Structure 1
């Protein structure tokens, strides 16, 4: 069975940043071919209207089986909802009304991942949208936590495991 996992980056880093790389690797290990989308140039979510982002994502994204997005990539949530695609949204823009509205329209299961020190994360809203939430105490928008880098690397591992469990238990159960 051929699957496609479309990877939508955040505004600052490309689709191969660690959070996205591990999420795409998890999908690839389950038979999906990653399709990496890039923003050129990097964009600020406040300057990119939702309709334009959704239209751009819809044009760039081939038929897929899963969307994986980081931050700005969560502006593709309307495309996921319209196409009935499951999605993994890493640090989605929950405090930006158009993005939150698009995420609420999800018509397939979604995993939301964020940290309590991220100004665009809203844990209560995330739990309203989906039962599939990984919220990390003290993690910022990059999913870094204070202290030694090894602690943030542990968080990266937790995110990777949450994505694997979501894919195995919800999206593509055996």
Structure 2
């Protein structure tokens, strides 16, 4: 019996799972029959007291219970920013992932994405201080870079920002199709 498709949403620090940067990839997964499991960070105030080199461990302790029963054949992770610190754990479970504005200046995040044998899409903005386009293209052959976009994938013009989110949505749809998650 085939497992039900599941999209695990790992939000950024400042907003929940339903920001446009996560909503469009999540909707693409839902339209392909996925059930959504959106993580809500617990004890977020602890982050202010945690040293930078311990963030990946803190994130993993919260994400591990969500991923432990996931089937790699029917699960995709969609993570933004803080959620990208779960990349080492996602790699351990061998799950495909869509990383939106991953923290590519963190070696934990880079190593986690690099160590994962499963397919991945990496999305970021060229004006994001935690984005490294060269690194992104070394980590995956599926990269969407939005020119002049910041960490929220926004630019100075709202219409151009919406167009950038459209590129994210299209990239997510193509990625999901490429891993066999086509619409029926």
- Picking from 28, 31, 39, the partner of 1:29 is 31
Hey, what does 1:160 align to over in structure 2? 169
Q: Name which of structure 1's ranges 34-43 and 13-22 shifts more when overlaid on structure 2.
A: 34-43
Q: Where in structure 1 are there 5+ consecutive unaligned residues? A: none
Q: Where in structure 2 are there 5+ consecutive unaligned residues? A: none
Q: Name which of structure 1's ranges 106-115 and 43-52 shifts more when overlaid on structure 2.
A: 43-52
Hey, what does 2:122 align to over in structure 1? 112
Q: Is this contact kept in 2: 1:86–1:171, CA < 8 A? A: no
Q: Is this contact kept in 1: 2:10–2:78, CA < 8 A? A: yes
Q: Is this contact kept in 1: 2:76–2:96, CA < 8 A? A: yes
Hey, what does 2:158 align to over in structure 1? 149
> What TM-score, normalized to structure 2?
0.87
- Picking from 160, 165, 169, the partner of 2:178 is 169
Task: Say which one has the larger Rg.
Answer: 2
3-state SS of 1:118 partner: coil
> What TM-score, normalized to structure 1?
0.92
RMSD over aligned Cα atoms = 1.9
Q: Is this contact kept in 2: 1:82–1:107, CA < 8 A? A: no
Hey, what does 2:64 align to over in structure 1? 58
